[in-house]
């Protein structure tokens, strides 16, 4: 099983949005996928509750609310069949809590928003992550996503500086768009949102998906670079929508 964690101590930077989107990419690609929610707010677990039963299923694991009769380790066990586990995390993690989360991940995605406030708030988190990574990494990978970027502005430069100092790669840039809220409300990931206005966003995801898949062999032959044109919502018998776009 490969574990991908979405982590940043700053709240509201897009952890849940990105964790749910990543879970959909893997589920759509035929992987047995689980989504574990470490956030007491339970947003990704709630999103899974709204997800349609006809969509590729994602197993929900609530890491916060204890279930009576289950030991902690059994509650967090996703089953031997799980191939990819995505972990959504709460805001405000540092110290021992951060280290406990860090140990669970094979790949860590850090979303950062380009506002000055967010960047300042993320600086100490990046410093802590750099220390943890230098101390022990065991093949772990850490990548940064610049989220809610207003394209055609210079806001990306400050994120580029921050990641260069930390030594982590910037694996993708996502624009600020309502499409993410629309997908969340419908229990979908951005790869499943079949609206003309979201093609650009799926294109922005391509380098992120490529980076994530570097450590996880694809199940299917290379996916087509353009949407097939079939639409799950118009024809439920159509082949599953592929995620990659031109
Ligand atoms: N790229 C984006 N464009 C527009 N809104 C976004 C984007 N990413 C996240 N959001 C919105 O920002 C808010 C916070 O996102 P969320 O994923 O809940 O952050 P976190 O889990 O880090 O607290 C949500 O309302 C979400 O819809
Ligand atoms: Mg969240």
Residue 234 backbone zone (phi > 0: left; psi -120 to 50: alpha; other: beta)? alpha
Ligand 2 centre and the CA of 18: distance in Å?
A: 9
Query: Is the torsion defined by CA of 54, 59, 63, 67 positive or negative?
Result: positive
Q: What is the C-alpha to C-alpha distance for residues 111 and 147, in angstroms, rounded to an integer?
A: 6
DSSP state letter for 198: G
* Ligand 1 lined by 240 (C-beta under 6 Å): no
Q: Which atom of ligand 1 is nearest to the CA of 184?
A: 27
- pLDDT at residue 25 is higher than 90: yes
3-class SS letters over 9-50: CCCCCCHHHHHHHHHHHHHHCCCCEEEEECCCCCHHHHHHHH
Q: Which atom of ligand 1 is nearest to the CA of 147?
A: 1
> Domains of the chain by range and CATH?
2-213 (3.40.50.300)
pLDDT of residue 220: 63
pTM of the model: 0.89
What residues does the ion ligand 2 have nearby, CB within 5 Å?
A: 15-16, 43
* Ligand 1 lined by 177 (C-beta under 6 Å): yes
Ligand 2 centre and the CA of 89: distance in Å?
A: 7
Q: How confident is the model at residue 117 (pLDDT cuts 50, 70, 90)?
A: confident
pLDDT of residue 242: 46
Ligand 2 centre and the CA of 51: distance in Å?
A: 17
Ligand 1 centre and the CA of 75: distance in Å?
A: 28
- pLDDT at residue 238 is higher than 60: no
pLDDT of residue 121: 86
Look up residue 181 and give its two tokens: 């809220």
- Atom 9, ligand 1: which residue's CA is nearest? 14
Q: What is the C-alpha to C-alpha distance for residues 91 and 7, in angstroms, rounded to an integer?
A: 8
Under a CB-based contact definition with an 8 Å cutoff, are residues 126 and 44 in contact?
A: no
Look up residue 30 and give its two tokens: 């035929």
Q: How confident is the model at residue 76 (pLDDT cuts 50, 70, 90)?
A: confident
Q: Which atom of ligand 1 is nearest to the CA of 175?
A: 1
* Ligand 1 lined by 173 (C-beta under 6 Å): no
In tens, the pLDDT along 189-227 reads: 999 998 989 999 999 999 999 999 998 877 764 454 444
pLDDT of residue 199: 94
* Ligand 1 lined by 93 (C-beta under 6 Å): no
Q: How confident is the model at residue 52 (pLDDT cuts 50, 70, 90)?
A: very high
Q: How confident is the model at residue 235 (pLDDT cuts 50, 70, 90)?
A: very low
């Amino acid at each position: 099983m490969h574990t991908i964690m979405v982590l940043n101590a700053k709240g509201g930077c897009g952890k849940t949005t990105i964790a749910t989107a990543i879970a959909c990419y893997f589920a759509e690609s035929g992987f047995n996928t689980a989504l574990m929610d470490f956030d007491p707010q339970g947003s990704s677990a709630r999103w899974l509750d709204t997800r349609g039963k006809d969509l590729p299923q994602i197993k929900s694991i609530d890491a916060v609310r204890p279930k009576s009769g289950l030991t902690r380790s059994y509650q967090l066990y996703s089953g031997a069949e799980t191939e990819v586990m995505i972990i959504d995390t709460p805001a405000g993690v540092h110290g021992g809590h951060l280290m406990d989360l860090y140990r669970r991940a094979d790949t860590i995605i850090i979303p950062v928003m380009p506002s000055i406030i967010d960047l300042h708030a993320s600086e100490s988190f990046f410093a802590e992550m750099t220390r943890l990574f230098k101390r022990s990494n065991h093949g772990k990978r850490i990548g940064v996503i610049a989220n809610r970027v207003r394209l055609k502005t210079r806001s990306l430069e400050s994120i580029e500086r921050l990641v260069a100092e930390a030594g982590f790669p910037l694996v993708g840039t996502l624009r600020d768009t309502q499409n993410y809220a629309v997908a969340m409300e419908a229990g979908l990931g951005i790869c499943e949102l079949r609206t003309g206005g979201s093609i650009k966003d799926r294109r922005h995801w391509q380098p992120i998906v490529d980076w994530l898949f570097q450590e996880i062999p694809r199940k299917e032959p290379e996916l087509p670079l353009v949407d097939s044109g079939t639409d799950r919502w118009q024809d439920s018998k159509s082949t599953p929508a592929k995620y990659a776009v031109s």
